[in-house]
């Protein structure tokens, strides 16, 4: 697409602001802000990962060896908060920031200064939250779900609530920006049903975000007033109800888990067709499936609360609704497999991570289906079976998709190829050790080991030790990732072509590599055959 390339080439480089402060702190450029989000997410990933290492080290063998139970609880709580709000969500926002304008032919996000604000709130929110670990009384220790009354016993509640408010504002502004961008900034000819599935997944995710982040804000605000201003929303003695908090929290919480997986679906739906050299199977079905999953996410929240003693009618409703999710999710998995079928596949690192995603996310989906069955969930609930389940969907699901996306678009971002050899070493180490880490946790859960305990009976010792070894090695494997990134950004000699991947389609591959500071200042002419989904009939 020569027209786009020549358009953009003249404003390369000399338009990026000089000076570190101006370039990064005052940035209104979607690519620079995207980079900031991604670097931030990577930093948080390692901070949250270090908490996980503390957890796995303490659980290496029975008996307490390293930390007190109270500190252990702070670690489990902080690990979750940092990974969810600091690593996975900002990573997806960063990918969205970088790629959405490039994919729809927009010059930038619709609201660039708000974009800057959305990002720069985050470091302060996390400084505030992480600082609680150094306060007398320590950080939050009541679990990331912050169930009252336990969370009301924490002396750091106010810090955490304020930090969550900041993260929520950041996420909501980010979501508003994405909605405004996608709905208004598409280049002429980029119809909604020609958009890449990644863009579709983010559009739907953004709607989930503006619907549920305010509900979380409301819930934690009520925690705050319960603790400091004498209200009794959740205080049984004052006429409130602790279970009410759980309903509100999970009304946020379940859409939240889809906020963390829908963009991953989008990424996989971009990568698989590229390396299979064949259009995605059932484009419209894929988009509809994402929309259906998003809708269902609003009516399944109580499956996190099967053991709180809900009436039977309610449990049956939530069980059926939860099981329904298996249908659109199944369609997505089948369609990915059908995309591969009859293709001409190569297995570069992004494709390897995408395939691992499909296999291992599906495994997490299987355990999810088992947990939807209420009587079985009475056994699984709050055991390591749950821990195994959500780590399969979040680590081998969301995280693997993010890593796949990083490898996939890194040449476009940096203009250099990463080291394929080291990428593959990173992949094989990750995929082996993540299974050593999480698979045995299914067995622990089935044997009845509760989650969030710092110590356990010797019957659980063997699988915990295996899990810990897997954990340390999985953590170490991610250092390879850092090495690959640093090499690619600063040292790689191998120039990337504009197209980068033989089978790549879509507007983002029509601009030069590295993508110039400004792209599509004049809207590109969109030609259907250039798009991945330019002429869909299904």
Segment lying near another protein (by CB under 8 A), choices 101-109, 257-265, 397-405, 426-434: 101-109
Alpha-carbon gap, residue 220 to 191, rounded angstroms:
40
Peptide bond into 86 cis (omega under 30): no
Annotation marks residue 144 as catalytic: yes
111 binds another protein (CB under 8 A): yes
Task: Single out the residue of 223, 523, 526, 531 in contact with another protein (rule: CB under 8 A).
Answer: 523
Q: Out of 41, 51, 56, 73, which residue is the one contacting another protein (CB under 8 A)?
A: 73
Q: How many residues bind another protein (CB under 8 A)?
A: 148
Is position 451 annotated as part of the catalytic site? yes
Upper half-sphere CA count for residue 39 (Cβ side, 13 Å):
12
Q: What is the 8-class DSSP label of residue 1?
A: -
Q: Is 304 assigned a catalytic role? A: yes
Q: In the chain, what is the straight-line distance between the N-terminal and C-terminal CA atoms, in Å?
A: 27
Tell me: does residue 142 bind another protein (CB under 8 A). yes
Query: From its phi and psi, is residue 122 left (phi > 0), alpha (psi between -120 and 50) or beta?
Result: alpha
The residue within the footprint of another protein, chosen from 2, 229, 312, 491 (CB under 8 A), is: 312
In the complex with another protein, the residue whose CB is nearer, 43 or 145, is: 145
Q: Minimum distance between the CB of residue 412 and another protein, rounded to whole angstroms?
A: 19
When binding is defined by CB under 8 A, the residue of 1, 39, 61, 158 that contacts another protein is 61
Tokens 């691992």: give the residue.
Answer: 356
Smallest gap, in angstroms, from Cβ of residue 505 to another protein?
12
Q: Does 153 bind another protein (CB under 8 A)?
A: yes
Return the number of other C-beta atoms located less than 10 Å from residue 78's C-beta. Answer: 26
| Residue 144 near residue 80 (C-beta atoms within 8 A) | yes
Q: Does 80 bind another protein (CB under 8 A)?
A: no
458 binds another protein (CB under 8 A): yes
E-state strands within 152-214: none
**Sign of torsion over alpha carbons 283, 284, 289, 295:** positive
Of 43 and 231, CB closest to another protein: 231
Using only the alpha carbons of the chain, give its radius of gyration. Answer: 23
Say whether residue 461 binds another protein (CB under 8 A).
Answer: yes
Kindly tell me which residue out of 215, 271, 292, 399 binds another protein, with binding defined by CB under 8 A.
215
Closer of 45 and 245 to another protein (Cβ): 245
CA 59 from centre of chain: 26
Contact status: 346 vs another protein (CB under 8 A): yes
Look up 332 and say whether it is catalytic: yes
- Measured between alpha carbons, how far is residue 249 from residues 64, 262, 316, 518 in Å? 32, 20, 20, 41
Give yes or no: 269 in active site: yes
Handedness of CA 154, 162, 297, 42 (dihedral sign): negative
Could you tell me if 399 and 435 are in contact, meaning their C-beta atoms sit under 8 angstroms apart?
no
Cβ proximity to another protein, 201 vs 383, nearer residue? 383
Q: Name the phi and psi angles at 495, rounded to 5.
A: -75, 145
Q: Say which residue the tokens 């109800």 belong to.
A: 241
Smallest distance from another protein to CB 479, Å: 27
Using CB under 8 A as the binding rule, whether residue 343 contacts another protein is answered as yes
- Tell me which of 199, 355, 395, 405 binds another protein, using CB under 8 A: 355
Choose which of 20, 134, 239, 529 interacts with another protein (CB under 8 A): 239
Token pair, residue 232, equals 């009794």
How near is the Cβ of 481 to another protein at its closest, in Å? Answer: 24
Query: What are the catalytic residues?
Result: 79, 108, 144, 170-171, 254, 256, 258, 269, 303-304, 329, 332, 451
């Amino acid at each position: 697409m020569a027209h786009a390339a020549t358009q953009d080439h003249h404003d390369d480089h000399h338009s990026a602001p000089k000076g570190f402060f101006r370039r990064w702190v005052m940035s209104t450029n979607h690519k620079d802000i995207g980079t900031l989000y991604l670097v931030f997410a990577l930093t948080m990933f390692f901070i949250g990962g270090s908490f996980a290492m503390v957890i796995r080290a303490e659980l290496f063998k029975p008996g307490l060896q390293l930390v007190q139970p109270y500190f252990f609880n702070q670690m489990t709580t902080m690990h979750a908060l940092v990974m969810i709000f600091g690593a996975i969500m900002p990573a997806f926002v960063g990918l969205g920031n970088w790629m959405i304008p490039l994919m729809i032919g927009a010059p930038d996000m619709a609201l660039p200064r708000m974009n800057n604000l959305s990002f720069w709130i985050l470091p302060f929110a996390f400084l505030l939250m992480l600082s609680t670990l150094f306060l007398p009384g320590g950080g939050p220790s009541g679990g990331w779900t912050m169930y009252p009354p336990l969370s009301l016993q924490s002396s750091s509640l106010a810090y955490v609530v304020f930090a969550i408010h900041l993260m929520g504002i950041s996420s909501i502004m980010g979501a508003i920006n994405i909605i405004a961008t996608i709905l208004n900034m598409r280049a002429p000819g980029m119809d909604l049903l020609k958009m890449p599935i990644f863009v579709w997944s983010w559009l739907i995710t953004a709607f989930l975000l503006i619907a549920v982040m305010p509900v979380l804000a409301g819930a934690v605000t009520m925690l705050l007033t319960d603790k400091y201003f004498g209200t009794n929303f959740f205080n049984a003695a004052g006429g409130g109800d602790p279970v009410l908090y759980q309903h509100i929290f999970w009304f946020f919480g379940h859409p939240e888990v889809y906020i963390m997986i829908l963009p991953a679906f989008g990424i996989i739906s971009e990568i698989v067709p590229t390396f299979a050299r064949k259009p995605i199977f059932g484009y419209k079905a894929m988009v509809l499936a994402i929309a259906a999953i998003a809708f269902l996410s609003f009516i399944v929240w109580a499956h996190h609360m099967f053991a709180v003693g809900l009436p039977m009618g309610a449990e049956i409703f939530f069980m059926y609704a939860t099981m329904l999710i298996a249908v659109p999710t199944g369609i997505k998995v089948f369609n990915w497999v059908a995309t591969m079928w009859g293709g001409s596949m190569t297995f570069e690192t992004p494709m390897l991570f995408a395939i691992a995603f499909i296999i291992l996310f599906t495994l997490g989906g299987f355990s999810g289906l088992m947990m939807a069955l209420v009587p079985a969930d009475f056994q699984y609930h709050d055991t390591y079976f749950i821990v195994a389940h959500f780590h399969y969907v979040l680590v081998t699901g969301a995280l693997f998709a993010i890593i796949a996306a990083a490898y996939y678009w890194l040449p476009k971002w940096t203009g250099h190829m990463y080291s394929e050899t080291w990428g593959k070493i990173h992949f094989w180490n990750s995929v082996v050790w993540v299974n050593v880490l999480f698979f045995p946790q299914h067995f622990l859960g089935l044997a009845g080991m509760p989650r969030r305990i710092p110590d356990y009976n010797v019957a659980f010792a063997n699988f915990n030790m295996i899990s810990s070894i897997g954990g340390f090695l999985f953590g170490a494997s991610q250092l390879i990732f850092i090495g690959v990134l640093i090499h690619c950004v600063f040292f790689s000699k191998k120039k990337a072509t504009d197209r980068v991947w033989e089978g790549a389609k879509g507007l983002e591959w029509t601009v030069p590599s590295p993508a110039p500071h400004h792209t599509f200042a004049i809207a590109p002419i969109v030609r259907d055959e250039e798009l991945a989904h330019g002429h869909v009939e299904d």
